[in-house]
Amino acid sequence: MKAFVVACFVAIALAAIWSVVLNNVQEPVDQAFATPYARVGT
């Protein structure tokens, strides 16, 4: 039971770390798929 609970917490922690990495690496869609001089909605 303890292994299961710890596994859940570690999975959440790793997911949180990955979310930080993704948010830093990936651009928002309106920037990733447009050139710097063609911004939509800004």
Residue ranges binding another protein (CB under 8 A): 1-4, 6-8, 10-11, 14-19, 22, 25-26, 32-35, 38
Rounded least distance, CB 42 to another protein, Å: 17
Min separation Cβ 12 and another protein, Å: 8
Please check whether residue 39 is in contact with residue 30, taking contact to mean a CB–CB distance below 8 angstroms: yes
**Closer by beta carbon to another protein, 15 or else 42:** 15
C-alpha 35/C-alpha 42 separation (Å) is: 13
Please enumerate in sequence order all residues whose Cβ is within 8 A of that of 40, keeping only pairs 6 or more positions apart, or say none. Answer: 30, 34
